[in-house]
Structure 1
Amino acid sequence: MSTALLLTVTGLALLDSLNPATILGVALVLVLPNGHPVRAALAYVLGAYLTVLGLGAGFYLAADAAAGVLDGGLIWVRRIAFGLAALMLLRSALQRLRRTHRAQITLPAWFTPWTALPLGAVVTAADLPNAFPYAIAIERLVSSGITTPHGLLVLAGYAMIYCLPCLLLLVAGVAWGDHIRSRLTGLYNRFGQARDVPPSIPAALGLGALAVAAAGIAITN
């Protein structure tokens, strides 16, 4: 397992970890009154971790099997991974061309520390269609030719890095209590409330350029 591969996967995981839905979910759990906010937040993060690891492991095993069985399978894995990343980026670019309404992020009435884990899993799974770095990371693992156990171990690390901002937020909430909660309330009021997001041509162009680059890699390999 090369250092370059680990650095590449780590960088992709750090990019993927900037996930507002999961991060704001943890912030909301810590801000809103409930009997066991730390335990609920930890269960929520665990649900996110298991989802990222489980789905990623499934895709990795399927891609690895396809690369070993199909004629030219590795090339097709690369094409599919970068083609999928290109579609995700293009979808995001098109969304930034129009005004969109984002609903308020709230906790369901059935939320408890016992249901926090499945809620974290559902929220994370719903946002995975935007996780284009994960598709590229899995392709890199398959292309590297590392053993399946090592690949799964790297994916476990990827999922941990994905959850890192949430874990840091949770640690800060435990360490600094009310001070952090007041900051989180401001964060939630800014990003968690219902709001209209205006179109952004520069953002759309940037995402479109990344989509073209990913599509170019998919076509030329």
Structure 2
Amino acid sequence: MSTALLAGIAGLALLDALNPATIAGVALLLLSPLRRPLTAAALFAVGAFTAVFVLGVALFLGAGYAADAVTDAMTWLRRGALLLGACTLMVAGLRRLRPRTRPAITLPRWISPWTAAPLGVVVTGADLPNAFPYFIAVERLVTADIAVGQALLVLSGYALVYCLPCLVLITAGAAAGDRVRRRLDGVYSRLGAEKDLPANPLLASLWLGLVFCLVVLVFLW
């Protein structure tokens, strides 16, 4: 396995790690009135890791089979990942063309340290279709004809990097709980609480411009 391949996949994992749904889940658990918020947040991160790793294994094995059965299967996987990212950005851009009310992000009432891991699986799994860097990383592994054992190690490393912001939050919460919670509370007030969002044509134009770049890349790559 080449250093360039590992570096490229690591870069994709770092990009993918900026996942708002998973990070918000850990932050909300640290802010929650649960008796053991750190335990719940850690188990949520375990659930997120599991979801990312299992999906990666399924994609790798499925794409490997498709590559043997279908001509240019990897090309279509790459294009599909880029188009998926373009669709996500297009929806985000169109939503910023008109004012709207953003609903508050809250935890379900049944959350506890015992249910935090399944919640991490569900939240992360539901958001993974938008994680188009992951599809590209899997496509690179399959194209490079990496052995299954090595691929599993790389995918586990990818999942670990994906959860890195969550681990940083959990570690900070364990080391300086009250101070971290105060800062997270301020961040939640700005980003997670219910808020009226005005139309933002400039931001919408930025998202739609990125959509155009991704669509062009689909035909060039």
Q: TM-score, normalised by structure 1?
A: 0.90
| 1:7/1:208 CA distance change after superposition, 3 Å | farther
Q: Which residue of 2 aligns with 1:53?
A: 53
Q: How does 1:11-26 map to 2 (within 5 A)?
A: 11-26=11-26
| 1:145/1:209 CA distance change after superposition, 3 Å | farther
Gaps of 5+ in 2: none
| 1:152/1:92 CA distance change after superposition, 3 Å | farther
Q: How does 1:104-143 map to 2 (within 5 A)?
A: 104-143=104-143
Verify the 8 A CA contact 1:17 1:162 in the aligned structure 2.
yes
Deviations 1:14-35 (A, max 9, x none): 1111122221211111112111
Number of equivalenced pairs:
221
Moved more, 199-208 or 159-168: 199-208
Q: Which residue of 1 aligns with 2:85?
A: 85
Quick one: distance in 2 between partners of 1:25 and 1:142? 32
Moved more, 101-110 or 198-207: 198-207
Quick one: distance in 2 between partners of 1:53 and 1:33? 30
> How far has the Cα of 1:99 moved from its partner?
3.0
Q: How does 1:61-210 map to 2 (within 5 A)?
A: 61-210=61-210
Verify the 8 A CA contact 1:85 1:136 in the aligned structure 2.
no
Moved more, 158-167 or 141-150: 141-150
Quick one: distance in 2 between partners of 1:12 and 1:72? 22
Quick one: distance in 1 between partners of 2:155 and 2:100? 33
Q: TM-score, normalised by structure 2?
A: 0.90
Q: Which residue of 2 aligns with 1:217?
A: 217
Q: Which residue of 1 aligns with 2:2?
A: 2
Moved more, 29-38 or 135-144: 135-144
Identity, in percent, stands at 49
Verify the 8 A CA contact 1:66 1:77 in the aligned structure 2.
no
Gaps of 5+ in 1: none
| SS at structure 2 position matched to 1:206 | helix
Could you say what the CA RMSD is over the residues aligned between the two structures, in angstroms? 1.9
| 1:183/1:72 CA distance change after superposition, 3 Å | closer
Verify the 8 A CA contact 1:92 1:207 in the aligned structure 2.
yes
Deviations 1:80-114 (A, max 9, x none): 33333333333333333333432211121111100
| 1:136/1:99 CA distance change after superposition, 3 Å | farther
Verify the 8 A CA contact 1:81 1:139 in the aligned structure 2.
no
| SS at structure 1 position matched to 2:119 | helix
| 1:27/1:117 CA distance change after superposition, 3 Å | same
Quick one: distance in 2 between partners of 1:157 and 1:98? 40
| SS at structure 2 position matched to 1:156 | helix
| SS at structure 2 position matched to 1:11 | helix
Deviations 1:32-78 (A, max 9, x none): 21111111111111111111111222122211211122123333333
Task: In structure 2, give the amino acid aligned to 1:39.
Answer: T
